Amino acid sequence: MKKKVESIEVKNKSISQLLAEMAKTAFQGRKLGETVEVWEEMLKEKDLTIIMGLAGSLSTAGQWKIVNWLIKNRFIDVLVSTGANISEDIIEAMGSSYWQGSPAVDDVALLKTDINRYYDVYGLESDYRKMEEFLTDFIFTLDPDYPYSSMEFLYKLGKWLNEKGIKSIVAVAAEHKVPVFCPAIADSAYGEAFLLAKSRGHNLIVDGMKDFYQFMSIGEKTGDVGVIYIGGGVPKDFTQLLAVSLSLKLKDQRIPRRKGFARDATGEYYYPHRYAIQITTDSPQWGGLSGCTLEEAISWGKIANEGKRVTCYCDATIALPLITHALNERVNFKREAPDFSWLLDKSS
Amino acid sequence: MKKKVESIEVKNKSISQLLAEMAKTAFQGRKLGETVEVWEEMLKEKDLTIIMGLAGSLSTAGQWKIVNWLIKNRFIDVLVSTGANISEDIIEAMGSSYWQGSPAVDDVALLKTDINRYYDVYGLESDYRKMEEFLTDFIFTLDPDYPYSSMEFLYKLGKWLNEKGIKSIVAVAAEHKVPVFCPAIADSAYGEAFLLAKSRGHNLIVDGMKDFYQFMSIGEKTGDVGVIYIGGGVPKDFTQLLAVSLSLKLKDQRIPRRKGFARDATGEYYYPHRYAIQITTDSPQWGGLSGCTLEEAISWGKIANEGKRVTCYCDATIALPLITHALNERVNFKREAPDFSWLLDKSS
Amino acid sequence: MKKKVESIEVKNKSISQLLAEMAKTAFQGRKLGETVEVWEEMLKEKDLTIIMGLAGSLSTAGQWKIVNWLIKNRFIDVLVSTGANISEDIIEAMGSSYWQGSPAVDDVALLKTDINRYYDVYGLESDYRKMEEFLTDFIFTLDPDYPYSSMEFLYKLGKWLNEKGIKSIVAVAAEHKVPVFCPAIADSAYGEAFLLAKSRGHNLIVDGMKDFYQFMSIGEKTGDVGVIYIGGGVPKDFTQLLAVSLSLKLKDQRIPRRKGFARDATGEYYYPHRYAIQITTDSPQWGGLSGCTLEEAISWGKIANEGKRVTCYCDATIALPLITHALNERVNFKREAPDFSWLLDKSS
Amino acid sequence: MKKKVESIEVKNKSISQLLAEMAKTAFQGRKLGETVEVWEEMLKEKDLTIIMGLAGSLSTAGQWKIVNWLIKNRFIDVLVSTGANISEDIIEAMGSSYWQGSPAVDDVALLKTDINRYYDVYGLESDYRKMEEFLTDFIFTLDPDYPYSSMEFLYKLGKWLNEKGIKSIVAVAAEHKVPVFCPAIADSAYGEAFLLAKSRGHNLIVDGMKDFYQFMSIGEKTGDVGVIYIGGGVPKDFTQLLAVSLSLKLKDQRIPRRKGFARDATGEYYYPHRYAIQITTDSPQWGGLSGCTLEEAISWGKIANEGKRVTCYCDATIALPLITHALNERVNFKREAPDFSWLLDKSS
């Protein structure tokens, strides 16, 4: 049962082999290796819905095509994202670029040359504005004053982008019927595009409560859930609520196929997530959600103690490419992914 | 001009005196001292609106009465918060408690005894549910299917709580006419209360775009802006957009009293925040918003290079009590705070 | 037994009062408050030796007079330090200064103007060289080729500095008979002064093993031990070895006044430290000594589970001034500090 | 000149290819990729001495055979290490093992079953003691009361281990004539083995100043220097002093082949390192050496602005395996490594 630490011998090997060896070491190298194992196990599980919470601004950092690959291969089934990740990718998908820069720079000089800085990435303000104008055009295709959920809004946007051949994350997600939720959607280029549309006479409503309701409906109709958190923030918190909110909604029902369990104290049912992978650069001791252990979520009934879980403290720009390339090498079977047409078609 | 580092002599002194001495040292001790100086300067400024972005779950950590104090004294004028901070305080305001716990604990045992863990704080699930039921009662007092902004929703809630003598953050904010925005409000007990209300036949719409529009309207009617970020996340990002979104809305107007400036490249006007204080435990090198320098925001036109700004990398549970007690000792004048009746009354 | 979290009310209070209230909150604010309580308890304990491990380069950051205050008041009995902390203070004690600078600076320009940067502190290279020349003068007063321990070397230096009225840390320590150990002493201005002395014909031997032996002899002659770690590194690791090394030396002895205990498995005696305070900015998940929990040290027999311990994750430039000012207010009794003349006189 | 950020496409590729693509992204993923490029460039450079500073306790974490591989291939020429890294590897090299454990464990229970914990690694105390006894045997083969440098001590140990077929880091280093320095050697199992030897009548002197002198002599005889820091601490600080100490020693000499440069202000020569790679989990804002930028070292004359340098903020258990495997794939030439027989033979 006990596993030895095995010191790594440097020689020719594949990415997945190296990560498998790292899983036999220690500290975060071990954890990085273990994430691949847990994800692979999720993919083999029958009747499992895999939800990814994607925080931060990773599309500017060369990561958005990895998310597309995960969607196309259905290594994730639902995406919960910041607005940044699913708007700033559109700039590249439209043919513009981001540029490698430096964090040790005169930001006043950048401002004067229309460059927005994301740590060591430079983006042109004019490209950003072009993307916002483009999103404004899309908003004009929508019903004014109809309360959309962010998921409905983004599904429509995805289809509209697909028609134009712009293969951003929401476009690929729409094509592959992967619902995308963005709980704080106004807090991004989407909010600014809405302002432009409104100033030109077209009002848009995005109803956060409807979003929440539709997200919870996923929980009602699926079996077990596995979660993958790239960073924390709202995408993680929102996704975790799937587990506890169900107990509110389903308290009088029996859902025999789900492996929920009763609390001793109140007899209430919880539907904790059975698998969890967390990549984060935050730390537990600050007391916040983004760095907390997955064990903390057990106390809330958000994660099942019986399932598999692994946290790797590492920059996502390191972890995400490595994990996905290892999965690409290792997964040689076709996963049966759950179908979310029922949710998406309702809103199309 | 050059300032000496002055080694601290331990002797009897007040909190504000010690922080003033720390401002003459180095590293984050210096920065903690400087935050008091910058905040005090903000309070002396004429025609300045002070917006606080409050991330995380700090109300469970003994910090919410500090926020109330800031509101009562009008050391802040607008609050942008996570849902956690302005719902979990209600539990204490209703008379229940949180308990000091340990992060090194068996979370399965906590689950079985109905305890939710927030790092080293324990809260009872039954208290949480009670608060949710209470919020559900409030939701039933609202118009179904009317698209509220989170600000409108929270102002009404604040007044309702005041009637009941429950002095939580939103209650005190309503009393003192401080608008509270919660851009991802569904991602919290508010979302769960909404689910309960909906399951009982009452629908609630909270329109994120309306939120954004109303928040931007603050920018239109105020002079300069100072920001205080306790943590990052959505509250910081959303608040920063006040600066850039204005340039979209106001591009054809002249607002002479504002100290905006033109970008060289496009001739566009920006309305960057003149003062900025940031308390964070995140780090710049991870490339995210929560840890980035305030200088990065200069490149975006979100912060004015000409203004004062200071970042202190420190847990808010250390920094916030110290800074506010120092302000309490130091500020002996009455600030003329801006009046937001025009915004709040519109929605009452 | 269970303690409520108590939300802080902002009003006039002393530093120690505020820290006592912070001890009733959560996260690192709570921990900061608790450090004062644990340190105060140490000071009340009979027959306790308090050892401080002092890492980093804190003397340039305005902290060295605080260390002097701790020594003068015998709130610590033994100091284990980096070379930086006990050499860079001499520059200020000699009358020169450090300057407040910025980390966002052109370091090539600093190099060209003879400025050495310590994050946001500037020091003149010429001041550093003057200090090194001064230490070289001292080395010439020593016996060539005699194997000194760092403790012997620094005690002699302290007395020599006292004669000259230069009240640096080692001077004050010598005056108050507090032994100072510097396990990696060559890795600092001391190494460079040695090089200068050697190039001028005077050889100096500093024997690390003798250091270790003399440090262990403290453990043999004292009762219980309390440790205070400001940062980690060699000072922490070296101090911890006091606990385990004793078990090597004392295995056939009975030391009844010490509260050591036997391991079940081997029957060997350990002499773990009964009190421990740790201030660090490192994190446990990286697997290193500087960020690890004090609990990890229990597994090694380095810290007693029965004792009191507290870790506060915070920059020392914030924590150290606050804790010491709170102690200054709170401690109104005269501690009976252990006498280390037997150790120091042996080597004088 | 400007480089685009290129979003990664997931497909089959080698480790070095993936890292090359990561070098075209952002944040720490970019930096990880760049370390490989800088190291490869170092290997191609003529007359360059590559010094590795190796902090922490990485041998227990499955990394020591990677260090051996670097030595055998002469991808490093000199090693500066903590005592932990070059003693705890001997346990595995002698045939015992470390075990994968958990940081969420009852450390009292571990203590009672003789297990020492290193974050998530378990080691048997009995194995540790066996290794210490073994080192004690070695100490008895040395001259009592002769002042060894750590380098001399470790070279002799390496040869002694080679005779016994125990291929630990110092053994492989001795075989390949790579000098190993351990500036704080007493602070480890070596200190404890010394205590045992001394209690049995054999005294050992390890002279830290001699160590420093011999380390500096490397600088005198070599051309340019490249440094690789795995973590910070004493190994980094000590290695950096090679650059500044030279200016003390060489101030009246001309060393034309070296690319040193004069400070404007004093006319003094410095010999900064031309290449630098830093892997660290610490952060600049805490003001310490382990997390500071390589730019800070430029102000000190420790690193050359003209050279190449890269810092990657990442756990070494992730970065080190990846970088070395990429080098293994990419480097297809035989490097001409500098010969250190002159230094090692002097002391054999």
Residue A79 lies in a domain: yes
* pLDDT-derived band at C254, boundaries 50, 70, 90: very low
Lookup: tokens for A15: 């990415």
C220, pLDDT greater than 90? no
Q: What is the pLDDT of residue B260?
A: 47
Cα–Cα nearest to D331, from D21, D38, D54, D66: D38
What's the gap in Å between the CA of D333 and the closest CA on chain C? 34
pLDDT < 70 positions in chain B: 1, 245-270, 347-348
Distance from the Cα of residue B215 to its chain's centroid: 13
**Residue C46: is its pLDDT beyond 70?**
yes
Using CB atoms, which chains have 3+ pairs under 8 A with B? Answer: A, C, D
Q: Which residue has the higher pLDDT, C102 or A247?
A: C102
For range D223-247, the mean pLDDT: 89
> Total domain count for chain B?
1
Residue B251's Cβ-side half-sphere holds a number of Cα atoms within 13 Å equal to 12
| 3 state DSSP class of C36 | helix
Question: In the A/D pair of chains, how many CB contacts fall below 8 A?
Answer: 197
pLDDT of D269-303, one tens digit each? Answer: 667 899 999 999 999 999 999 999 999 999 998 99
Query: CA of B279 to nearest chain A CA: how many angstroms apart?
Result: 12
pLDDT value of residue C248: 58
Beta strands in C97-192 (DSSP E): 99-100, 115-118, 121-124, 147-148, 180-181
Which H helix or E strand runs over C94? none
Cβ neighbours for B322, distance < 8 A, ≥ 6 positions apart: B15, B19, B32, C18, C322
Report the run of H or E that residue A315 belongs to, with start and end.
Answer: none
Q: How many residues does chain B have?
A: 348
D252 — pLDDT class (breaks 50, 70, 90): very low
In a domain, C148, yes or no: yes
What is the rounded CA–CA span in Å between residue B138 and residue C69?
A: 57
Q: Is D298 helix (H, G, I), strand (E, B) or coil?
A: helix
Strands (E) in chain A, as ranges, are 48-54, 78-81, 99-100, 115-118, 121-124, 147-148, 180-181, 205-206, 224-230, 261-262, 269-270, 273-280, 303-313
Disruptive mutation site among B107, B285, B290, B315 for chain D (greatest number of D CBs within 10 Å): B285
Phi, psi of D5 (to 5 degrees): -75, 130
CATH code, domain carrying D89:
3.40.910.10
Q: Does D100 touch chain B (CB under 8 A)?
A: no
Q: Is B120 within the bounds of a domain?
A: no
Res A73: pLDDT: 97
Q: Is residue B194 part of a domain?
A: no
Residue A99, domain member (yes or no): no
How far does chain C reach from its first CA to its final CA, in angstroms?
52
In eight-state DSSP terms, residue B275 is E
C-alpha C176/C-alpha D310 separation (Å) is: 46
Spatial separation of the C-alpha atoms in residues B180 and B78, rounded to whole Å: 6
Q: Is the pLDDT of residue D214 over 90?
A: yes
Query: How much is the ipTM here?
Result: 0.95
Calculate the dihedral angle through the C-alpha atoms of D340, D342, D346, D348, rounding to the nearest 10 degrees: 50
**Contact at 8 Å (CB) between D291 and D257?**
no
Looking at the predicted structure, is the pLDDT value of residue A251 above 80? no
Q: Hey, is the C-beta of C57 within 8 angstroms of any chain D C-beta?
A: yes
User: Residue C263 has what pLDDT?
Assistant: 47
B313 close to D (CB below 8 A): yes
**Predicted pLDDT of residue B97:** 98
Q: What is the pLDDT of residues C273-331, one digit of tens each?
A: 999 999 999 999 999 999 999 999 999 989 988 889 999 999 999 999 999 999 999 99
Neighbours of A137 (CB within 10 A): 13
Shortest CA gap B336–chain D (Å) = 36
C233: number of Cβ within 10 Å: 31
Biggest distance spanned by C-alpha atoms of chain B = 67
The average confidence (pLDDT) of chain B is: 92
CB pairs under 8 A between C and D: 257
Mean pLDDT of C38-50: 95
pLDDT of residue A219: 81
Determine, yes or no, domain membership for D276: yes
Neighbours of C199 (CB within 10 A): 13
Percent share of chain B, pLDDT over 70: 92
The better pLDDT of the pair D329, C267 is held by D329
Catalytic residue among B31, B156, B177, B302: B302
Find chain D residues with C-beta within 8 A of B285's C-beta: 27-28, 283, 313
Domain range enclosing C259: 15-90+143-346
Residue C217, pLDDT > 60, answer yes
pLDDT band for A263, please (50, 70, 90 cuts): very low
Q: What is the pLDDT of residues B170-210, one digit of tens each?
A: 999 999 999 999 999 999 999 999 999 999 999 999 999 99
Exposed/middle/buried for residue A217 (C-beta within 10 Å: 0-12, 13-18, 19+): middle
d(CA C112, CA D109): 57
Residues 206-225 of chain D whose Cβ lies under 8 A from any Cβ of chain C: 206-213, 216
CA distance B16 to B90: 31
Residue B137 is assigned to a structural domain of this protein:
no
Q: Which residues contact A1 (CB under 8 A, 6 or more apart)?
A: none
Neighbouring residues of D339: CB distance < 8 A, sequence distance ≥ 6: D177
D112 — pLDDT class (breaks 50, 70, 90)? confident
Residue with tokens 């979290």: C5
B-chain residues within 8 Å CB-CB of D28?
285-287
- Region A281-290: mean pLDDT is 97
C86-114 pLDDT per residue, tens:
999 999 999 999 999 999 999 999 988 88
Residue C70 CA to residue C326 CA, distance in Å, equals 12
Q: What is the pLDDT of residue B1?
A: 59
Give the Å distances, CA to CA, from C239 to C174, C275, D195, D325, D343: 20, 13, 15, 37, 33
Percent of chain A at pLDDT exceeding 90: 82
Residue D267 DSSP SS3: coil
The tokens for D147 are 């002042």
Phi, psi of A337 (to 5 degrees): -85, 145
Closest CA to C184 of B196, D183, A324, D310: D183
Which pLDDT band, with edges at 50, 70 and 90, does C341 fall under? very high
Which of A81-90, B170-179, B236-245, C201-210 comes out lowest in average pLDDT?
B236-245
CB B127 within 8 A of CB B96: yes
Q: Is D44 a catalytic residue?
A: no
DSSP structure string for B78-137: EEEE-TTTTTHHHHHHTT---EE--SSS-HHHHHHTTEEEETTEEEEHHHHHHHHHHHHH
Six token digits for residue A111: 């401002």
Rounded to a whole number of angstroms, the distance from the CA of C244 to the nearest CA of chain D is 9
